[in-house]
Amino acid sequence: MIEAAFAHHGLPWRYVNMEVSPKELGDAVRGARAMGFRGFNCSLPHKVSVISHLDGLGESAAVMGAVNCVVRRDGKLIGENTDGKGFLRSLAELIDPRGKSVVLFGAGGAARAIAVELGLAGTRRITIVNRSATRARELVAVLRDKLQVEAEFVQWPGDYTVPADTAIVINGTSIGLYAPKARLPLDAASLQPHMVVADVVFSPVRTAFLQEAAARGCRTLDGLGMLVNQGVIGVQYWTGIDPDVTVMRRALESALGV
């Protein structure tokens, strides 16, 4: 997807996968700095530990305490988090979250990134529905204390009933990933036609959760858009150009066989 954008725009750049062990992370970042890298992505287990090797953080990365994209700015390596930004860019095609009420399933990395970006975008209320209380309460505290968002945690022991005044419902968990029949535990009858229902899962593109929501008349948003848009934002950070989104999505669809 990234290299498809480079090729389409005639950039003689490469996007190369590199495996780095935790003990060698500092050396890897110093190497990237010394070799003039314009930036790089980092995944687990480096999203938090990489911060100590950087020169600064973007706003959302500082709030959530996690980085997945590093960009060189004025000779400094700055950590950003594009996951939540990618989701919001995709969501904006259907609805503006400002002033809205959101139900978010999950409190892991993707859910945390999305919640923070929703908070920064002016979302009125975010309900975190999660099985683990510890991670969810930590996220609620971040939303309340750092972003002054009305937020609450709801334990998720079984099927969850979505409140009728909810505007946006998001599956921020991995339930359904590579499992087309996997069911998100919720009361499908509580999904109303006025709701936008989104899933971060990108394979399959049409998860059972999204199919259920569409059958209830909801507008739906698949996880492929989030994945493409976080890549788009990374390319913008590194190159300064606005890459062709269609080219990147087609390359990703081809890679995923969809």
Annotated catalytic residues are: 47
Report which DSSP code applies to 165. Answer: T
Using the structure block, give the residue that is written with the tokens 């095609």. 93
Task: Say whether 240 sits in a helix, a strand or coil.
Answer: coil
Q: Compute CA distances 57 → 51, 60, 120, 206, 256, whole Å.
A: 8, 8, 15, 35, 32
Burial class (CB in 10 A: 0-12, 13-18, 19+), 164: exposed
Any residues with CB less than 8 A from the CB of 132 and at least 6 apart, and which?
107
